Amino acid sequence: MTKRSLRRGAVTTAALIAVAAAPAFAQDEKKEIQKYQQMIAEGSPAELWELSGEELWTKKQGPKNASLEGCDLGLGAGKVKGAYAHLPRYFKDTGRVMDLEARLLYCMETLQGRSDKDARARLFGNANKPSEMEFLVAYIVGQSRGVPMAAGASHPKEKEAFEMGKALFFYRAGPWDFSCASCHGEEGKRIRMQDLPVLSEPPGARKAYTTWPAYRVSNSQLKTMQWRLNDCYRQMRFPEPTFGSDATIALTHYMAVLAKGAPYAGPGTKR
């Protein structure tokens, strides 16, 4: 982890300096990059993660030797179709707002009897050691393809999560005094050749939120929203957020609510 961070750190610093000083680059280049993004999105290996996820969903595991099929993702026990589009949301059984990944952890522990340690053993995978979480997430989000995003917004806790997410988005800290807004809060920013979407406004939030999780070419793996937040924090030199923490769920909720109404595109493919 350290070596990788150092290497990435040196590269990212230089890139960020470039962000501040660089002029907008040619429209042609932008179009060609869009073409690249379009062409890799046609037929995503993410679909293979969906297939594996479907198998895992029905697999009996843990001390209780049970599958996850009884898991309530918000629309009732076992109802998977469309469930992701309604997350994050408030859950009465836990008394908190939960995103998909926090909910999956909960079901692994309660339905399957797996310990917290076991369920969290491999949250982010790599090519040699994949993560169950990534397969399961791919399957469940795939079942919300085309469904308009409708994260919970009526319960007081949901409103609170939205406000917390917004506050966190603009909260500057860490050794570089960064916040999410440093990169994602203003139009026209980029890191090297990648345009940075503005995530604090509906247009940018819609585009970003409806294309995660995604098969990430750089990792050759499907990466989830919890992973994306974790990696952003790493790049900002913040301490590592706890997986499924209130803070990460609040940030996800903030973007999900801003993305309201946009049809979910299904797991995407990204650089």
Q: Site residues (CB under 8 A) for another protein?
A: 15, 29, 32-33, 35-37, 39-40, 42-45, 47-48, 51-52, 127-128, 190-194, 196, 208, 211-212, 214-218, 220, 228, 270-271
Q: Nearest-CA neighbor of 178 among 237, 218, 107, 257? A: 237
CB nearer to another protein: pick between 48 and 167: 48
Distance (Å, whole) CA 102 – CA 120: 11
CB nearer to another protein: pick between 25 and 170: 25
CB nearer to another protein: pick between 19 and 153: 19
CB nearer to another protein: pick between 155 and 207: 207
**Would you give the end-to-end CA distance of the chain in angstroms?**
21
Please, what is the minimum distance in Å from the beta carbon of residue 257 to another protein? Answer: 20
Please, what is the minimum distance in Å from the beta carbon of residue 4 to another protein? Answer: 12
Please, what is the minimum distance in Å from the beta carbon of residue 196 to another protein? Answer: 7
Q: At residue 108, what are phi and psi to the nearest 5 degrees?
A: -60, -40
Please, what is the minimum distance in Å from the beta carbon of residue 220 to another protein? Answer: 5
Active site residue 232: yes
> How many C-beta atoms lie closer than 10 Å to residue 209's C-beta?
25
Beta strand 268-270 pairing with 214-216:
parallel
CB nearer to another protein: pick between 20 and 95: 20
Please, what is the minimum distance in Å from the beta carbon of residue 39 to another protein? Answer: 4
Which residues are catalytically annotated? Answer: 232
